[in-house]
Amino acid sequence: MDKYLSQKNENLEKELETNFEEGLTSEQVEDRLQKYGRNELPQGKVTPWYLIFLKTLTQPIQIILIIAAIISVIAPLISNHWEVHFEVFIDFMVIISIVLIDGILETVQEVKARKSMDALKEISKPKAVVIRNDGQQEIDAGELVVGDIVVLEAGKYIPAELKIIEASDLMIDESILTGESVPVEKIDTPLAKTTQILAEMKNIAFMSTVVTAGRAIGVVIKTGKDTEIGKIATSINENDESHTPLEKKFNRFTMIIALISFLIGIAIFLTLFVSGDQKAWANHLMVAITLAIGVIPECLAAIISITLSFSTKRMATENVIVKKLQAVETLGSVNVICTDKTGTLTQNKMTVQKIIINNQIIDGKKYSLEKKDEHADYFLKSLVLCNDSVTEGLERIGDPTELALVDFAESMGYDEQDARDEWKRIDEIPFDSERKMMTTVNNINGVNTTFTKGALDQLLKHCTKIMVNNTVRTITQADKDSLLEIANKLSDDALRVLAFAYNTSYDVEPDQDDLEHDLTFIAGVAMIDPVRESAVNAVKQAHDAGVKVVMITGDHAVTALAIAKELDIAHSMNEVMSSERLNSLSDDELYQIIEQINVFARVNPEHKVRIVDAFQRRGNITSMTGDGVNDAPSLTKADIGVAMGITGTDVAKQAADIILTDDNFETIIKGVNEGRNVYQKIKRAVTFVIGVNMANVISIFVLSALNSVSPVEATNILWMNLIVESLIAISMGMGANDNSLMKVKPIKGKNPLFRGIWWSMIKITMFTSIASIAAWYFGMGFVNTQVIESALSQAGYNEAQVSEILIRNNHGWYQIFKDHNVLISAKVIIGNFGRTAMFIAITCGPCGYANLIKLSQWQTSKKINIIVNKPLWICSMGALGLNIIVIFVPGLNTSILNLIPLTEYQTAWYLIPVSLAIAAAPTFIILALDGIVFVTYHYFPDPKRRNQMLVAEMIKSDKLLAEKKRKKAKAKKQKEEAEANK
């Protein structure tokens, strides 16, 4: 780049082998396209869908499930001496189906997010006006090559890196690259010295920046990946993809569960082998492996994917595109949001708020309703005639400040196009950063009239008169002092002041040197990019949720603080840090004070990475919003990068995890709420699944140790895990969101998956285990001598053998279970009554208490917040119905699930209702305990918490008092302004 800065045009023309007058020929263009490729930004590696799918199968939980599926086939084959039956593969098919469903869901979501991004890119493909073959034509910007001659005008995107060879009042907005919000003036002359600072390269136009004013011709010196924006895009593409907090937690959780299941499998096998029949080791191994698999929540991966998928659909309707499923949960864990001001917290549209006229301040809306007079006529003419911006339909071209003036004039019935057609511009002096003024000469009904606008302090130096109440008189020093005092007052409120003057004393067309002399001051305007009304409420929601909102802006500290006050982000300069101070601090010094800063002003893009890093070092989950190319590093660095869908560049969208299609801060807060609910729903599912699984393992382990025989068969556990448990757990993620979660501060630092769920999990495990054991013994109470004789006969024993076994074991089923000489098959049949009762308990019990697992913060209010999860209720009732039905289905109940046949219910008719009552017991016990805890917490707090509540109440009272004072001061100020206007 250095060689182009100081190079003369004639030398550059030779080096690039082009012609500045005629442009390149078609043959040259074709050759250079072949040599250098299209003028497009480098894209990240697009992973094919099938590789995305295969990648999902390599996640730890999926690998364990695949291994479990294989073992589920091998174990029964060993126990059945390698006899192959269809039932052997049922477990395998169901587990593999869950693995495949989970992989498909993740793949579909990632592909959909990619398509959404592609759609955003297609919205506005840039065009370029070039000179080729000695003629002007418009082409796709991707077809540009080095040496092309590009014509620029206001409103056009810079399609490639250009060296300016001709320029007329050229102003370019380089904010997406440098972060500087004010358009930069560009020149067409060589620089005296080279520089590495982009902002100082005054004769270079950078790709993807925007022309706000003027015209120019440039020659393409770099395209695609060689441009500044291309270099950043390349560096982003080379970054390794990091794991989200949810992925890290889930991977740790998987490892823990894998270890637990392995240890449980060994423990159960050894228990059965030592206490039972050692000859039946294959059967013991099958039971141990089945229970070890039972600990693994094989449905959990699908639950997480389905829950996240439902949430991403909801977020899409709220203008949020989620590129990766796990990013939803990360957004919910955020406790610091670093956000740009312009366009996110504000409307990104300068608006006239106040009018300075007749030496007083008048509200802009009030002035627009007043009757027009001569004074107003001159004022409105100055707004639209001394102005280069254009508005036509939805198209808005020009400097934001000038567009605001046109908008205000239009609100008072002045159309800039009609005005300019009627009162032609004769001459002009463009805006100059040193003069800080702009002047035009227009023919107003045959009179050459100058209109000048500029900074108030500069304009007043050229004014000799002032118009007050439609009367022109000599301006006094008191007038000037009063106007400057008004301007300072408005500037303190972050308003940008612009003043206007005119002169009609020219009989003939004047010389340019005289255009800005002997002016008459007309009026001034005070403008601001207004705060979004939704942003004020969103910031309040964030604060209520314990999320710190940090505003990052290129504005001066005073302006930034004024906006921050309106948003309730900051209230004193102690909470504001400028780039100068930031540069003076080391990383350790910034780390020490970062928590006290709420606003960063005059910030450069490289500062954002330091800010994010400092917050992360303090243990915060940090989000960063951005739209420019320069934001890409900080978006990548943040735990969750949020890009703007409307104003955002492709590079920013590529670096981000989430894209807002409406560029609204309120949408981020909606995403936080969704993320918190997602994590809570996942934790509910984990609580339910692990609690039920552990209850099954404990009850089976205890009964196996006591009786030397497994109380249930593998098919019973399979039905429980894959039909009942999965059906209920998956529906947990489909319910409505709980907004009470936005009243609780997020946990800072590590937030393990098991935090806050231990008590709920212990309740489920303990009460379900007790109910399951009780149900089994209740069922075994129906076993009498007749049942034992029938079971032994079915197992192949003759009458003599049956009689001998009964006598040897005193006709008791317990003694027979301990008898190693009795076949396992006989013991299985004898245990049918206990197995049936326990089956009802372990499958029907969860259908009730699944609806009581409420991890939302009931501590936040004394009011019981009941949220009905319709899908969960439907699935619970459906699962309950299936459990009852399966008991009465011939063949399925006896041959597969090893339950008692229908004929037994003639005498054991009350087995089902009593077993259902036992199954319901945990639900009622948990409900009673939760009620006691709720009442105790809110109405009988312990002394320590009572003191905490008093302190919290005092802090809340102080905040309300401070808020009242702020509102009172604001109302007083508005009243004073109203009285001054009168």
Q: Judge whether 416 and 405 are in contact, CB under 8 Å.
A: no
d(CA 645, CA 667): 12
Q: Which residues contact 474 (CB under 8 A, 6 or more apart)?
A: 464, 465, 466
d(CA 654, CA 36): 23
Q: Judge whether 651 and 236 are in contact, CB under 8 Å.
A: yes
Q: Judge whether 726 and 302 are in contact, CB under 8 Å.
A: yes
Question: Which DSSP letter does residue 749 get?
Answer: S
Q: Judge whether 227 and 160 are in contact, CB under 8 Å.
A: yes
d(CA 249, CA 752): 6
Q: Which residues are catalytic?
A: 340
Tokens of 573: 């300069």
Helices and strands in the chain, H and E counts: 37, 26
Backbone CA torsion sign across 774, 779, 783, 787 = negative
Q: Which residues contact 799 (CB under 8 A, 6 or more apart)?
A: none
DSSP-derived 3-state class of residue 819: coil
Q: How many CB atoms lie within 10 A of CB 945?
A: 12
d(CA 268, CA 770): 19
d(CA 809, CA 812): 6
Beta strands per DSSP E along 445-535 = 447-454, 463-468, 471-474, 496-506, 519-528
DSSP-derived 3-state class of residue 744: coil
Q: Judge whether 668 and 642 are in contact, CB under 8 Å.
A: yes
Q: Which residues contact 416 (CB under 8 A, 6 or more apart)?
A: 384, 387, 389, 390, 391, 406, 409, 410
Q: For the chain, what is the largest distance between any 2 Cα atoms, rounded to a whole number of angstroms?
A: 137
Beta strands per DSSP E along 99-208 = 127-132, 135-140, 149-153, 161-173, 184-185, 204-205
H helix or E strand, kind and range, residue 115: helix 90-123
Q: Give the CA distances from residue 53 to residues 18, 103, 442, in Å, rounded to whole numbers and listed in that order.
A: 49, 6, 67
H helix or E strand, kind and range, residue 294: helix 281-295
Closest CA to 186 of 152, 160, 221, 141: 152
d(CA 162, CA 165): 9
d(CA 563, CA 598): 12
DSSP per-residue letters across 422-439: HS-EEEEEEEETTTTEEE
Q: Judge whether 776 and 834 are in contact, CB under 8 Å.
A: yes
H helix or E strand, kind and range, residue 321: strand 320-322
H helix or E strand, kind and range, residue 397: strand 395-397
Q: Which residues contact 655 (CB under 8 A, 6 or more apart)?
A: 236, 631, 632, 633, 635, 636, 641, 643
Identify the residue whose tokens are 């003027």: 214
d(CA 571, CA 562): 8
